[in-house]
Amino acid sequence: MLGEFSYCNPTKLYFGKEALGGLKEELPKYGKNVLLVYGGGSIKKNGIYDSVLAVLRECGKNVFEDGGVMPNPTTEKLYEGIERAKKANAEFILAVGGGSVCDYAKALSVSIHCKEEPWDKYWLRFEEPDCEVVPVGCVLTMVGTGSEMNGGSVITNHAQKLKIGHVFGTDVYPKFAILNPEYTFTLPHYQMVAGFFDIMSHIMEQYFSGEDDNTSDYISEGLMRSLIHSSRIAVKDPKNYEARSNIMWTATWALNTLVAAGKTTDWEVHMLGQAVGAHTDATHGMTLSAVSLPYYKHIMPYGIAKFKRFAVNVWGVDAAGKSDEQVAAEGLAAMEAWMKELGLAMNISQLGASEEMIPGLVKSTLVMEGGYKVLTQEEIAEIFRASL
Same domain? For 35 and 77 the reply is: yes
Domain for residue 342, yes or no? yes
Domain for residue 165, yes or no? yes
Domain for residue 7, yes or no? no
Alpha carbon 179 to its chain's center: 15
Same domain? For 50 and 141 the reply is: yes
Same domain? For 235 and 312 the reply is: yes
Residue from 98, 83, 3 nearest 43 by CA: 98
Q: At what angle do helices 377-387 and 284-299 cross, to 10 degrees?
A: 120
Domain end residue (candidates: 183, 205, 227): 183
Same domain? For 166 and 198 the reply is: no
Same domain? For 197 and 168 the reply is: no
Same domain? For 147 and 218 the reply is: no
Q: What's the pTM value of the predicted model, to 2 decimals?
A: 0.96
Domain for residue 2, yes or no? no
Domain end residue (candidates: 156, 183, 210): 183
The answer to whether 99 touches 149, Cβ cutoff 8 Å, is no
- For residue 342, CA distances in Å to 192, 230, 271, 286, 296 come to 10, 11, 23, 11, 19
CATH of the domain at 261: 1.20.1090.10
Residue 127 CB contacts under 8 Å (≥ 6 apart), including other chains? 121
CA angle (372 as vertex; 311, 100 as ends), nearest 5: 80
Same domain? For 132 and 89 the reply is: yes
Torsion sign, CA atoms 203, 208, 212, 213:
positive
Per-residue pLDDT for the chain (388 aa), expressed as one digit of tens each? 678 889 999 999 999 999 999 999 999 999 999 999 999 889 999 999 999 999 999 999 999 999 999 999 999 999 999 999 999 999 999 999 999 999 999 999 999 999 999 999 999 999 999 999 999 999 999 999 999 999 999 999 999 999 999 999 999 999 999 999 999 999 999 999 999 999 999 999 999 998 778 899 999 999 999 999 999 999 999 999 999 999 999 999 999 999 999 889 999 999 999 999 999 999 999 999 999 999 999 999 999 999 999 999 999 999 999 999 999 999 999 999 999 999 999 999 999 999 999 999 999 999 999 999 999 999 999 999 999 9
Domain for residue 259, yes or no? yes
Residue span of the structural domain in which 381 resides: 189-387
Same domain? For 156 and 221 the reply is: no
Same domain? For 171 and 275 the reply is: no
Same domain? For 31 and 153 the reply is: yes
Same domain? For 202 and 159 the reply is: no
Domain for residue 4, yes or no? no
Domain for residue 286, yes or no? yes
Instruction: State the total domains in the chain.
Output: 2
Domain end residue (candidates: 183, 213, 235): 183
Residue 199 CB contacts under 8 Å (≥ 6 apart), including other chains? 143, 144, 146, 227, 247, 250, 251, 254
Rounded Cα gap, residues 301 and 297, in angstroms: 8
Residue from 285, 278, 287 nearest 155 by CA: 278
Same domain? For 166 and 307 the reply is: no
CATH of the domain at 108: 3.40.50.1970
Domain for residue 61, yes or no? yes
Torsion sign, CA atoms 120, 124, 125, 127:
positive
